[in-house]
Amino acid sequence: MAESKLKERMDFLDIVKGIACVWMIHRHVWNALIDPNEKIPSWYPNFMQGLAAPCFLIGAGFVFVILFNSAKIKNQVNKRMIRLIYRCSQVVILGYALQLPGFSLRKLFSMSAKQQEVFFHANVLQCIGVSLILLSLFVYLLKRINTVAAGYISGIVGLLIIFSSPYVWKYADFPIWIQSYFSFKTKSLFPIFPFGGILFFGAAAASFYLQMKAKNKVALAFLIIGMLGVLFMLTRPSDFIQQYFWHYGKANPLIYLYKLGQGLLALGVSFLLEKITGFGKRFIDWLTIMGKEALFVYAFHLAMVYGSPLNAGLYRYYANSLNLAMIFLIGLGVLLLNIIGAYLWFELKKRWLIIVRILIGIAFLIFIIK
């Protein structure tokens, strides 16, 4: 019974990941295929740019605290930690696998300097996996105190990560495979400084959720805080704050507080969507399945849009050449195929998990011997 209640409570987290998947697909199709001379209409929601990553990051930190708290109640903390580190390692490996120059172990050990730079980039999967391992170790060290308190402390650490990022970027100097997690110097898209701070703050959001008995107030709080964070950046902060922070460029902490606001806003919306009934519930169910299979959607849509070692993507044929109408049409097609793919993958894992494991094993074997 407790496990089923936990799953019910976490439905909104699948919804927020589903929202992230929908926006991620749209933006990747847009970035890859739109003609740079195409005029962006005034109604386009520019404030949503960069929404997907904060949703995934906050959701990951949130889920960890909920599960850690459940494991602590059942006295299964060590078991949960081992399972979490194993799963996070899988996520990191998948992230690097998507950046391989070819589907072959031989090619992995014969990469050029440029291929190595691309391979060692810290993308969102690597950021989530490594940040979750760090968060789990941090909370594990605090296991003697209340889980809610540990989550709040993690949130404070998250803010410190965000605000210390300009200094870390300035002084960090490591080999490329480590440097990718510390700054954009290697053109890494999601270094832990500052993006890991958003994940750590997700732990604080979960602590607030566990502490509050009235869950409707939780949704309202996330909506208000999220909107304030977004409006703060959209309306431009005071001259003093701009002068103090703006020279940090991409390391500007205000950018990541804005992203934090985006993620909290999406989390609040997901609370409300979870309560929808009737015909609209079907749409939410599809969104939930996409969220449950977010890893599949992430890999599948990237292969469709940008290609992979096994296929040519849309980018090869239509790179930066399409108008708005075609962007939305193709984006809708990619989205529908990903919804269908996520549903089939979900059902396959539920009914014939052994087949999934055999397929993964065959793919790994081909990678080794090719």
Predicted local confidence at residue 248, as pLDDT = 60
Spatial distance between the Cα atoms of 138 and 226, rounded to a whole number of angstroms? 26
Query: For the residues 32-56, what does the mean pLDDT come to?
Result: 92
Tens-place pLDDT, residues 326-355: 999 999 999 999 999 999 999 999 899 888
Q: What is the CA 250 to chain-centroid distance, rounded?
A: 19
Residue 236 has pLDDT above 60, yes or no: no
Tell me the pLDDT of the chain averaged across its residues.
Answer: 88
Predicted local confidence at residue 51, as pLDDT = 93
- Of the listed ranges 15-24, 64-73, 194-203, 245-254, the least confidently predicted one is 245-254
Contact 363, 80 (CB under 8 A): no
Tokens at 69, concatenated: 């708290």
Is residue 233 within a helix (H) or strand (E), and if so which, with residue range? helix 215-234
Spatial distance between the Cα atoms of 238 and 185, rounded to a whole number of angstroms? 29
Predicted local confidence at residue 193, as pLDDT = 93
Sign, Cα dihedral of 39, 42, 44, 49: positive
Residue 118 has pLDDT above 70, yes or no: yes
Spatial distance between the Cα atoms of 266 and 264, rounded to a whole number of angstroms? 5
Contact 12, 267 (CB under 8 A): yes
Predicted local confidence at residue 333, as pLDDT = 97
Predicted local confidence at residue 213, as pLDDT = 66
Spatial distance between the Cα atoms of 47 and 21, rounded to a whole number of angstroms? 17
Tens-place pLDDT, residues 270-304: 988 998 877 788 899 999 999 999 999 999 999 99
For residue 172, the SS3 value is coil
